A = this chain, B = another copy of it.
Amino acid sequence: MHWEGEKRRRLRRLEEAIERGEVDGPAIPVLEAINALPDYCTTSSCSGRVIVLHEPEVGDKRRAEFLAKWHEPPVDVDRVREAVRRAPDEGITWLKAQPPLFHVLCRDLEAARRLRAVASEAGFKASSIRSIKDTKVVVEILGSERLETPVKVHGRETVREEAWPHLIDLCNRLLTRGHDRLKRLVRAVKGLKEDGE
């Protein structure tokens, strides 16, 4: 069947990506739990991250450049500050903590509804159905806790010297909380199997 063939191809690509070390560790148990269910197939993932990002203009995501990135704590305050210092003066440099994000292809709408509901209950309140093509449906599993702070605007740093450790501590807590939620998500997804399938 079409679905089975597509899922097999995608899982093969995922395995290769994991072997190449391209998939962040905390995401892997979630991917495994979802892909173990017959109606679901993951298409992309991020276990949550802290980034330093430069945009030549606000909102110009295409020309944005990553200056530093962490998928696991501890985020290093010195490396963050170094990245901010060497960021270009024009434009805007952000420190962002982004929640975990998974895109999951679902065999049909009913499967998508179940997954979205389970993810939302597990704390991923911003989860939604992102697209519907033919019968297939893409669910986005997404957390809602984020931090998006401009740290350099037109060449001027915005954060007080003494506030940096607090800001980075907050980033670390958000990363850790995201990872804790991933464990809840794995349990919830495994529960899906017993309920519905």
Contact = CB atoms under 8 A, between A and B. Distances in A.
Interface of A: 58-59, 92, 109, 113, 116, 128-132, 140, 145-150, 153-154, 156-160, 162-163, 166-167, 170, 173-174, 177
Contact of A147 (B150, B154, B159): B150
Contacts of A113: 132
Contacts of A163: 153, 156-159
Q: 7 smallest A-B Cβ distances: which pairs?
A: A128-B128, A158-B163, A129-B129, A153-B166, A149-B149, A148-B148, A59-B145
Contact of A158 (B92, B130, B131, B159): B159
A59 B177 contact: yes
B160 A157 contact: yes
A21 to B, nearest CB: 29
A166 B154 contact: yes
B92 A170 contact: yes
A113 to B, nearest CB: 6
B156 A166 contact: yes
A148 B149 contact: yes
Contact of A162 (B58, B109, B146, B156): B156
Contact of A173 (B58, B157, B162): B58
B132 A130 contact: no
30 contacts: A58-B145, A58-B170, A58-B173, A58-B174, A109-B109, A109-B132, A113-B132, A116-B131, A128-B140, A129-B129, A129-B130, A129-B132, A147-B148, A147-B149, A148-B148, A149-B149, A150-B166, A150-B170, A153-B163, A153-B167, A153-B170, A156-B162, A156-B166, A158-B159, A158-B160, A158-B163, A158-B166, A158-B167, A159-B163, A160-B160
